[in-house]
Amino acid sequence: MGPLAGLKVIELAGLGPTPFCGMLLGDMGANVLRVDRLAASDLGVDFPGEYDLRNRNKRSVAIDIKKPEGLAILMDLIGQADILLEGFRPGVVERLGVGPEDCWKRNPGLVYGRATGWGQDGPMAQMAGHDINYIALTGALDRIGLAGGPPVPPLNLLGDYAGGGIYLAFGLVCAVLEARQSGRGQVVDAAMIDGVTSLMTVFHAFQQLGKLDPGRGANLLDGGAPFYSCYETKDGKYVAVGAIEARFYNTMLGLIGIDPKDLPDRNDRRNWPELRRRFEDVFKTRTRDEWSRLLEGSDACCSPVLALEEVASHPHNRARSLLVEVGGVRQPQPTPRLSRTPGYILQTAPQRGQHTMEALADWGVHGSVIAAALQAGALTASK
């Protein structure tokens, strides 16, 4: 089911962008086989199995690829795959015997996806790092935060998932389409610094045009503009205001009870502090939900700032089934939504090695090879 039905993907278990990319492909119908280690390792947060939502729509096999019997099974799988995903430091998989050149000897059409923070080359390629480090080097982190305060990490959404996982998925689909024409695979080098730099395209333009104040919280889209910011309400919650265009701004003013003639010109940045004070005073006169009832349904471009536990119950989100419950766990729907071949959540996240026996058999690995690997301790089949 889904637009990627029939696509066979091997995901070498890793951090951040790799499992997220595998989830995106699995949501759209790809047959994703996650190759886990035999034992738990330091892969970040230790999720209880069904709550590691990044692993939904995947099956798990546990293989010790450092043993010859385990490596042989992995190479059998690679011989049938369309895509392999890995997220190790440069050179690691080559030392394990499953680098791109090793794999292409077995499967010339394999698309080889690599997710890293710094990229496959350059003086920092071998350095450890995390989302916060990668986005720091791109200039993105410097742009996020309150005026006069330090940069604020936007969770790990920007590097791991937007700049890494989503760009990796896009590159893989591009390369698979090309491989179907040429018969040849290629490497997709998805470095988070590359992806985040791409996301910053318009801000590079602003900076070169002299339209970007170097300070944080001083620009149109970083919370500096009083008509593109968040305001505390009477109950200590917040509303988000995004009334950039003049017509939306005037709609907002009318609904919150301010005559535009009583305000200074918003296009003069010297007036922004006064406008902010006026809006702060007004929004504190009602609760967040009172403002929501007044403003939602209009073109005021105002929204309640919801806590995660509130997202599913908002009327609009509920109407679109933004979150669904699968296996007793609430989770986001597959996205984007396709009209004819949509994605589905067909399987909850597996336990490590849950599908070792059935998945290897389904992928055509001979029973005697599986038995020999079990005997050698190169496989684990969880119950």
Tell me which residues are annotated as active site: 130, 160
Q: What size, in residues, is the chain?
A: 383
Q: Which residues contact 44 (CB under 8 A, 6 or more apart)?
A: 15, 16
Q: Which residues contact 133 (CB under 8 A, 6 or more apart)?
A: 117
Between CA 224 and CA 273 the distance in angstroms is 9
Helix (H) or strand (E) holding 151: none
The DSSP result for 70-96, as a single string, is HHHHHHHHHTT-SEEEE-SPTTHHHHH
| Contact indicator for 100, 187 with CB cutoff of 8 Å | yes
Residue 326 carries which side chain, given as an amino acid letter? Answer: V
Sheet of 379-380, strands arranged across: 187-191, 111-116, 83-86, 8-12, 31-36, 58-63, 379-380
| 132 phi and psi angles, rounded to 5 deg | -60, -35
